[in-house]
Structure 1
Amino acid sequence: MFTEPTRGMNANLSERLKKALTPAPQPEIKMFATGLGLGVLLDATVIRALLPTFVAVISRWNWWLPG
């Protein structure tokens, strides 16, 4: 229930997030599922949404080569 005083509040929050995101009993599966979920979230936000928008904004400068 209570965490060690040296671990702090962030460790407790991350542990609760891991438990909430992955209901598997093995720690290896929990770590894999959490990493996979974060990877999918990163792909959905940065690669699929922000990068094409950035490319569209700097359209002409995309293919500029120095020299």
Structure 2
Amino acid sequence: MLQLDKEEVNIDRIDPVGNYAVCLHFDDGHNTGIYSWDTLYDLGVNHQQKWQTYLERLIAAGHKRKGSN
């Protein structure tokens, strides 16, 4: 799924889920999903590649980010 128009969304709260994950609560009201430590590590280590892929998908879908980043 390609997320659009979420430039201003921030994390409001982080709740632990056992010893293996966290549940993120966002200020736009959504809190679906549990993020394991492995997933969060992967997102951090591969941030540049994942971000570039996301930007390319936006362009291919005819969208662009509102902000400069």
Q: Identify the TM-score tier after normalising by the shorter chain.
A: 0.3 to 0.5
Q: Which has the larger radius of gyration?
A: 1
The TM-score with structure 1 as length reference comes to 0.32
The TM-score with structure 2 as length reference comes to 0.31
Higher fraction of helix: 1
Q: Which has the higher contact order (CA 8 A, sep 6+)?
A: 2
Higher fraction of strand: 2
